Structure 1
Amino acid sequence: MYNFPLVSVVLPVYNAEKSIDYCLKSVLEQSYKNIEVIVINDGSTDRSEEIIQTIIKKYPEKRIKYISQENKGVSVARNLGLKKALGEFIAFIDSDDEWLPTKLEEQMKVFDENNKVDIISCNRNQEHFDSFLGNKFKVLQRIPAKMLFLKNFALTPTVVMKREAFHTVGYFNENMRYAEDLIYFVRLAHHHHLYLLNKSLVITGKGKMSFGESGLSSNLWEMEKGELKGVSIARKLGIINTFESLFFYTFSFLKYLRRVFISKVWIKTNTTSNKRND
């Protein structure tokens, strides 16, 4: 690359003492070096702050902004990070996720070589897509906004976006507790070109399922209501029409039933396994 623009990495933290160490270190040890990390402690009551401060002292040469606030929710924390960001590009990571060492370097190379790319995501947890719903996927695949309601190819910790894309849609919806990131990236993809780098460069939730195990996504019904609200918002914004909204409502509810089934099978399997180990 001939150009190494600054990337601002927004990292909200809430009671993440078990994961913040490997998460933050995975950002600081990226092969792409021109980064600033904005850590927002959203009212943690565990040892998160202590661990973060220890890491900051261990990496004195790194640009780390640490902000502590009362617990206000992940969207408020992310928005505060966006307000403090100075980079030409903005990336996100959650406190239980981990980036592979070349994650940013590979995504920034795509920006450098493709002017048409405004937002780029990548795969996670060893995923790779040869095709989706009959569409053959390339190494660099355009993702239309509507496709995100079928499968979210823009999970928050995988995304890097140009600063001007952020200026178009503004901040995360602070009134949504679930699926706020989905509707945010749907809005981005509606106004700008979102591409998937079809390569797994992120480990989310220590490689666990993205639902039904821990954190916000463990509350499947609330998560489903958030997705349905996202469809409603997209219809009101004119991103989808009424017929499409009915289709996505139905598709989302079927995904919810599938998640409930898989989650119950996973819990039953692991409970049986634990009993055998005992």
Structure 2
Amino acid sequence: MMAGINLKKSGGSKSSWRGWLPILVCVHLVASFTFFMFFMPGESGGAGFGVGTLALTADQVKIKQLTKELAAAREALHEQHADHDMLELDDDDANAGDKGDGLRVPTSLSKTLSHNFPISGEALEVKETRPMKEEPEGGYTAKPFFSIVLAAYNQGKFLKETMKSIVGQKYDRWEVILVNDGSTDNTWDLASELIERYAHQRIRIITKRNGGLADARNVGLKHAKGNWLCMLDSDDLLGKDYLQRAADFIVEDDRVDIIPGCMHNFDAVSSEWCFPEGFSVLGIAHWNKFHASVLMSRRLMAAIGGYDPGIPWGLEDWNYWLSTVPHNPIVRFVPETTFFYRHHAGTSMRKKMFSMYLEQTKAMVRTNHAELYEPVQILHDHEVIKDMHQDTLEKLQEKILKYPTLPMPYFWRGLYRMKMVQQQKAVVDMQRALQFAEKPGQIWQINFRLAQVFDSLGEYQEAERAINAAFKHAYFDDVLALKHKVEKELKDKVGGGGGHLPMLIAGHVTSEPTYWGSPNEQEDIRQGTLAGKLLRLERLDAAMRDQKATERKMVALLATATETP
């Protein structure tokens, strides 16, 4: 086809080969068009733009397949939540998307919010205003709707003032769920008066047997319908603009999960405390950065499942906020006073007890969240819990009776019984704790201490089963050392009897690492952890301060020597 085309100049011809370039391009385009139009087979083997047809068909097949998979996934999700009235999904929810951190962004809510913790008993009596029987205008999700759970125990005299701080909000899309936690004063009567006084507002009051603050909140959460939640104690107050400012934030960015602000301490104490900007995992792990009355999204509460009622002396809020860390919540701060915390004159018995046993309580909370701490910290907390006061033990036993399906109260009591050399009772407590434990951090703690108890009783096969179960979730020195010790004891026992090593311990540790017997190497490894690095940094900082102080002294001496003839 192009054989007769000569690209070189010939003889006296003045034309350049560049003159042929447009002709070549046209020929190429015509040839390509002809090939694709008449020779490239389509889907059915006929003529036409086969490649385009095939690509379109492949896309359609993929879309159909993905549609089927999506439908199957949604059906599985419906079945998964069928027994947990947590969040109902509809077509709008399916399109709402994910935040990327495991928290759904729902557009419709079910009537009840389930939780992962047991409650001490159902409501004994419920009263509500007429508006509570109907949905608010626009429903619960068209705009932010706040459910304020108000827990009350023997503080009836403050209810009127607390309710005024809610009714006086500039933003009016809210409801109050007031839970009377078995008060022995006139709290229920005064709460009933509020129903009559604010009959046009959305208020529900519930009375129940005493179960503690966390339990009262969990009962209130079962009745909450809002897509935003606030826990408020019956003697504290909300800032008048809090809900409006929060609603503005939510409309601006509905991905936000937590909205704190500044806190004003009043009554017996007067001071202001504003939260630091940003959510710090390290900060929240060290100590509580958020008070109770911080607005949080319903989706965050659904992911956590409520408040743990099994902690003897409180710190329910800190325990809750620690539970939020794995969910990477988005925090927006309101730079003004949003909460008024009342300090009562004098000191209640509960506060005295709390101050006396604060370290024990903090240790228990940390063991609830072992994944956030160095193993050395958790093992230290075990020792603190072992030394618990008799008052704490009695409180713990009350918790076990009220909430028999919580794992950690059994474990904490088991640690105490280890210290008291009540080994058989410790075994019973820890085995019961394992029946209800689900989190890996709980499982390795319980199995590690259970292995120690079995080892002390000479029950080496049981000890090895326990330490291997701990080893699945934790690999630090103490676990490895106990694993080696138990396997060596078991091997010596079987070998001494002329028997064979059971299949149970196939793949056991065959050699003892040198650092187990070397204090120097042990110290090096311990300092290789984050805690060790921080300790070295602290020591280095102290040494540098000493060095600078020495240098200043030397400069002063040199100046003195220079000035003195």
TM-score bucket of the superposed structures, by smaller chain: 0.7 to 0.9
CA RMSD of aligned residues (A): 2.5
1:1-278 pair list within 5 angstroms = 4-125=143-264, 126-128=272-274, 137=276, 141-157=277-293, 159-177=294-312, 178-195=314-331, 196-206=333-343, 213-214=347-348, 216-219=350-353, 220-235=355-370, 238-242=371-375
Larger Rg: 2
Contact 2:300–2:324 (Cα < 8 Å) also in 1: yes
SS at match of 2:171: coil
- Decide whether aligned partners of structure 1 residues 114 and 38 sit closer, same or farther in structure 2, where only a CA change above 3 A counts: same
Distance in 1, Cα, partners of 2:377 & 2:337? 30
Contact 1:9–1:93 (Cα < 8 Å) also in 2: yes
Give TM-score, length-normalised by structure 1.
0.75
Contact 1:76–1:174 (Cα < 8 Å) also in 2: yes
Give TM-score, length-normalised by structure 2.
0.38
- Decide whether aligned partners of structure 1 residues 33 and 216 sit closer, same or farther in structure 2, where only a CA change above 3 A counts: farther
Distance in 2, Cα, partners of 1:55 & 1:102? 22
In the alignment of these two chains, the number of paired residues is 231
* Greater share of residues in strand: 1
Give the drift of 1:93. Answer: 0.4
Give the drift of 1:18. Answer: 2.8
Distance in 2, Cα, partners of 1:120 & 1:9? 14
1:172-216 CA distance string (max 9 Å, x none) = 11111411221111112331325243432111125x69xx83474
Distance in 2, Cα, partners of 1:127 & 1:8? 25
Give the drift of 1:146. Answer: 3.2
* Greater share of residues in helix: 2
Distance in 1, Cα, partners of 2:206 & 2:255? 34
Give the drift of 1:217. Answer: 3.7
Contact 1:43–1:68 (Cα < 8 Å) also in 2: yes
Distance in 2, Cα, partners of 1:13 & 1:128? 26
4+ residue stretches of structure 1 with deviation over 3 A?
212-218, 243-247
Deviates more, 1:174-183 or 1:72-81: 174-183
1:239-271 CA distance string (max 9 Å, x none) = 333256589x6xxxxxxxxxxxxxxxxxxxxxx
Distance in 2, Cα, partners of 1:8 & 1:215? 31
Distance in 1, Cα, partners of 2:221 & 2:238? 20
Contact 2:165–2:240 (Cα < 8 Å) also in 1: yes
SS at match of 1:105: helix
Distance in 2, Cα, partners of 1:215 & 1:149? 28
Contact 1:42–1:69 (Cα < 8 Å) also in 2: yes
1:39-71 CA distance string (max 9 Å, x none) = 000111111112211122111111111111111
Unaligned runs of 5+ in 2: 1-141, 265-271, 382-565
Give the drift of 1:103. Answer: 1.5
1:95 counterpart letter in structure 2 = S
1:166 counterpart letter in structure 2 = M
SS at match of 2:260: strand
Distance in 2, Cα, partners of 1:146 & 1:199? 25
Contact 1:146–1:186 (Cα < 8 Å) also in 2: no
Relative contact order, higher structure (CA 8 A, sep 6+)? 1
Contact 2:144–2:250 (Cα < 8 Å) also in 1: no
Distance in 1, Cα, partners of 2:240 & 2:263? 13
Unaligned runs of 5+ in 1: 130-136, 250-278
Aligned residue for 1:266? none
SS at match of 1:156: coil
- Decide whether aligned partners of structure 1 residues 200 and 234 sit closer, same or farther in structure 2, where only a CA change above 3 A counts: same
Deviates more, 1:176-185 or 1:188-197: 188-197
